[in-house]
Amino acid sequence: MTDSPAFRLPLDPKEQPILDRILTIRDHLSILKQDRTTYVKSQDVVKYYNQLIEQVELLNQIRETKRDEQNRVDTVLDDCFQLVSLFFLTIGRNQEAPAVYSAISTVKRLLDHLKEAGYYSGKDLGTMALSIQQWRESIERGQQSYSPHLLTLLEARIHVCQERLQELQQSLSRLGPDVVGMYERLVSILRSLSACNTRSKFPVREVKDFEEQLTQIQDELHESRDVHEGKTAEQTYAERMAALSLTEGEIADGPTVIRALLARCLLWIEVIQERQGKIDDRFQDTYDKLLKIRNTLEQMNLTQAWSLRETDLYSFQRQLDRVDESRVNGNFIDAEGRPADLHAQRTLLYLLRKSYAFIYQYIISSEPVSEALLPIYNQLLTLKRCLVEVKRSGGVDSPRELYPYSMKLNSIDNMKKDGKFMVGNDIPEGQASVTALLAECFDLAYELRADSEREREDDDGDAMQLANGSVEVAG
């Protein structure tokens, strides 16, 4: 198993029994995560959560006079809470406090990386602001149900995220409505260029197209390209990094931000065109590792709804955490402690941020349904999409066309026992969500059938009137 970044402070002998117990808990959680022979049951997850909280309470008693202590106990506790959090998502208890832990950890890293990258869009921040608010509500709802030790920890982490979010929002507020569209376009191009830079084969033509777009923007703004005589684009980029960042330096107005970001895009194009996707050999292993993680997470996007168990994200989180925590003062360093050049630094940071972004997306799109009910839930989602599309396209000509949908909906409805979807003798979490979705599908099918019958009656009436008119003329 991939371990968390490890602290090396000495362990208080009094904490050794706690470490032993939480290592055992982590082992049990890992075994549960790997077992695909059956679905994860709510009672198993709650059992390990309660055992974990017992150890946290004991640890807090020992550390009454040393609250800032950090050693291996804390890293293993973090592992356990991450796993428990993802398990709460897996069993469909997304709106409960423990489920928030993993999401907050991921968003904190994303916000830090956005600040470090020096560019981001309002959409990035808006999505995370909404998520943070929802997680805060989950914590408030859990006041009577969950340990104050957990809630205090979650509240502190949310506070840190909120502060960083407000810092980034404030920086973005420097942009007036007249330049926001241009800024968003430049951010999109810069990200697309970073994606091109990580392709297996460097896309020369595509990068050239982006360069032409930037040249067009440059002409619109009546700007000239940075010639940087006697220096490489990489050297110039590094020297002007603070001036080109939205969050650093004293940027007075929106037009200044736009000009700086445009200059950054043009310099970055020069850098990646020169490198042609080739990373510094010293960081090839790290690059390959991050690229593989990014590609795997991206491919999961195609099958997420049908095959993803949220706990699968844990190993990716831990691998990324290891890479992120290995940096020194934000720099990726080689085996001899030397920092990466600018190209490697920005490329590795892009892959790191993009991978965390995928994990965040999978977490927030997790359905509030136990994995035991996901097959039914996903079938209903597909049926709903089909029915909505049929309605959008003008409905059906005959109720007969709805028979396949009705038969499938009735077969799903008949799976219920005493109004519940059962798996053996268990009642998995997410009953309300599945039942509500089933009702939506029945309503859509009913509306389509009613519209079809009404249209047919109108057609019959028109035909009758036409027939009567013909008789009168004949008479």
How far is residue 283 CA from its own chain's centroid? Answer: 26
CB neighbours of residue 418 within 10 Å: 6
| Among 115-119, 241-245, 400-404, the range of highest mean pLDDT | 400-404
Taking the C-alpha atoms of residue 373 and residue 432, their distance in angstroms, rounded to an integer, is 11
Distances (CA, A) of 220 to 27, 182, 223, 224, 315: 60, 11, 8, 11, 47
Structure confidence at residue 82 as a pLDDT band (50, 70, 90):
very high
pTM comes to: 0.86
Taking the C-alpha atoms of residue 384 and residue 437, their distance in angstroms, rounded to an integer, is 8
The structure tokens listed for 464 are: 């009758």
Q: What is the reported pLDDT for 248?
A: 53
| 190: nearest Cα among 126, 99, 124, 254 | 124
Least confident range of 44-53, 145-154, 251-260, 367-376? 251-260
Secondary structure of residue 426 in the 3-state scheme = strand
The structure tokens listed for 105 are: 């950890």
Higher-scoring residue by pLDDT: 326, 178: 326
Asked whether the predicted pLDDT for residue 22 surpasses 50, the reply is: yes
The structure tokens listed for 408 are: 């499938």
Taking the C-alpha atoms of residue 362 and residue 380, their distance in angstroms, rounded to an integer, is 20
Angle between helices 42-62 and 72-90 (to 10 degrees): 160
Write the CB contacts of 34 (distance below 8 Å, at least 6 apart in sequence): none
pLDDT tens-digit series, residues 202-222: 999 999 999 999 999 998 888
| 135: nearest Cα among 85, 173, 198 | 85
Question: What is the length of the chain?
Answer: 475
Asked whether the predicted pLDDT for residue 470 surpasses 90, the reply is: no
Q: Which long-range contacts (CB under 8 A, 24 or more apart) does 128-137 make?
A: 128/161, 128/165, 128/360, 129/165, 129/169, 131/103, 131/107, 131/364, 132/107, 132/158, 132/161, 132/162, 132/165, 135/100, 135/103, 135/104
Q: What is the reported pLDDT for 33?
A: 93
How far is residue 30 CA from its own chain's centroid? Answer: 22
Asked whether the predicted pLDDT for residue 181 surpasses 70, the reply is: yes
- Tell me if 35 sits within 8 A of 352, measured CB to CB: no
Q: What is the reported pLDDT for 2?
A: 44
Structure confidence at residue 113 as a pLDDT band (50, 70, 90):
very high
Q: How would DSSP label each residue in 6-17?
A: PP-SPPPGGGHH
Half-sphere exposure of 128 (CA within 13 A, CB side): 29
Higher-scoring residue by pLDDT: 26, 64: 26
Q: What is the reported pLDDT for 415?
A: 94
pLDDT tens-digit series, residues 432-467: 999 999 999 999 999 999 988 888 776 555 555 655
Least confident range of 100-109, 355-364, 417-426, 429-438? 417-426
Q: What is the DSSP letter of 3?
A: P
Structure confidence at residue 1 as a pLDDT band (50, 70, 90):
very low
Averaged pLDDT for residues 159-174 = 90
Q: What is the reported pLDDT for 435?
A: 95
Q: What is the reported pLDDT for 331?
A: 92
